[in-house]
Structure 1
């Protein structure tokens, strides 16, 4: 299994090409003395055979130089560099230096600092792969001594002030990419249209300085970035779900048979179609750079198509029994960054502050009084300020001014005593009152007590809830937690407004009426302009008077007086039915009242059990504007009489008949015989006919008052 160091974020790879054999398919790899063609047996001349049989020990590359780096500067990538080699080998074709992890494309760059001092080498920078090649300008081998001197003068630079992290540089002999976190080598072999199975066989047939090859297995982000993003893999890798659809495993190298735990599939992949069982790094421009697709064994057969295989990625290292090669070395640079802790809590008026910060390992933290330049105030993970009286900004870095961070010591000023807009407010009757207070700084909090308690409102203007008694509120000034304990009292006095009652008064026709505010000792203002307690009006309508109490209250209440013009009633007629009488007026209104005795008046114009005889009907206006009277007669016909000379009901007579001189009453027995006749000269009947007592029985009568009125008929009983 691979040994992966996830703490190594950036790697730069140096590759030196040496005599090496490769077995690949549909491509040719040409080294110094050997040519291998796909599916061919090894072809060589005698010199080549003699070289193959000559035991050459692989070189050993050593490098030192774990350093701190400040962006926008240049730094040599090594502090020392050596290549120990077989005396039979004095040089090689090239050395490759790669930023193998933490590479920032477009910003990071490697270059030879003084090319004029190295006439025997030339350099080429691949910005996509983050790789610097050092070769001979003539194509011949470069002496190891010249390569060592050149590597010592290779520098790194990044022009961005915001650059951060760790960059790891890999120095490798051979054109394979070396990744320090795995100590493995990776080589992309171009082969247009190669199938996955052929690529797997070709990879396993190749070796690299004695390391057995296999289709690459990718177990970490470092590997994915180096193989797919930096090296433009665009080819087959060792993953497949051919065994169980949807279960992706590594089927090559030391990880063969293990389920993938790290994956970098392109968006929507894998789609797990039946025949798309093999993993392939996407072509640049397809989806996420360096991500994977699943393809069939052949991939697309259309020449030039984005999903036509372009080659495969071979990985070397980690197979059972293999020892790590020492043909590669690595160094790293770390951009030191100071990370300040949280700003200390603010203080009121003055105080000291202690700041803390952590930094990249190996870096020294320094504290400054300016964002650029300035004075060093202290060093170390903590810094305590002197006593300060105002908010002050300090700065901290870990050796790189471009990464300097700011920290702030906040000093808040305690406000002066709050000032109330008014010491006393008043309100006429219960209600809300808007009171105000101000401070030279900060905010105003309102309380119901002179100390302690909980704020009930925040703001310079406070509208109280409805209050009905004298109340005091207290304004407190506060500025970001700095509180002035001296609260300003604001008093509210509740005054009682004058008590008035609305009225409705009557105004008699063609008369005047005096309106009264009803409260003495006040100021008055009537709607007709009068300013006295009373005012005289001669017309109906609605009148108002504002009644204001004396200072300091000055509370005003408004009284409304509705003046109704009332007419004098006129009786039109009185209808009498038995003892019920109804008084009708020429114009009916609600403010008239009625009576039939001149003493007891009522709203109803209907009267019952009116005594018989001549009566008087009364109608008047209720408030005394006047009235009208009219006489009427109530005729009462006794329902029976008892002519037994006991002085009770001995005679039958019509009460009220005396008011009609022309009236006549005729009385009949049950058979219709006329038995008596009454008129103005004879007003009663004693129950006899021709002086003979008639028997007890029912008798009928007919009353004719005059020719203008109907005849009234009825019956009564004679009892013996």
Structure 2
């Protein structure tokens, strides 16, 4: 039932309602006698209703009576709009809100109607701050936004408000790598697209519809996962077989200077490298290695073959020496006494001629060969170090400077 708040009419009857007392009555006689005053909340009986207002001066007690006509019109008929939904990688998306207009308005539309969109209920009631046309056609929303709609009859001026919600749902995140490598010894590999969310459906390029499948052959595959909210995502991926050998070996360790090495290995397609107890790395280069013994470990990234290990020795030696008689840097030898005690060091000139062999007790090379001073230039050395049952060979070069 439609109701009218009679006190809202006071301002239409008196210019200053605060200085008078206004009462409402169903007929003239009762208004004159001031009996059977109507409640403030009035329920109209007919489409057109006549009431009488008694306006009394609160100072003098004098009053006048005026008649009031209340016409009751039906509110616009409407349909409750549905929730707008969209899938997005983020929780924001753009929507065309105008698609709701045809759904909200009852067809056939009985009279000319005005429809507006608002971001809060207060604005919809007061018809302020309505969304502009360009905003309605391309509204930037976040998940959970509520849009309020005002539908007004152009004939009667009556209006209703309703609302609808905006839901922005994420695409499923499929936990499959771009490339999955299986070992040659394993003819099968299991691939899972399950995201841990209930209600999802799956479709694989093989035709399977289960969360995971077993694949035997290398090749390109895809899977489409659809959430319970209707958002779909497709993941393309590749299956390949790792080339393996029976043994993973370290072919060569190159000392680029006294504290850096490059490790070359064979037996797999993809390696990871570690030095002593360090975390594995993809690079085969190690820099700033402390002087002393170290263990290099090479492993297959996909764990298809075993590991290979080799002990290395990072030597400490002077990059130059100055045999000029001033008592400083007069000889050249390995700097670590413990390593020197197990080493035999051969020194060569640039042409490969052997100039000196240093043993554990030698004080070092004095820059002479057969009693003659050798010229200022670079010289090379080869150190053979006994380490338990192994013999470690290390090479390097240094400079002889006389000035």
TM-score where L is the length of structure 1: 0.29
Structure with more strand by fraction: 2
Q: Which has the larger radius of gyration?
A: 1
TM-score where L is the length of structure 2: 0.47
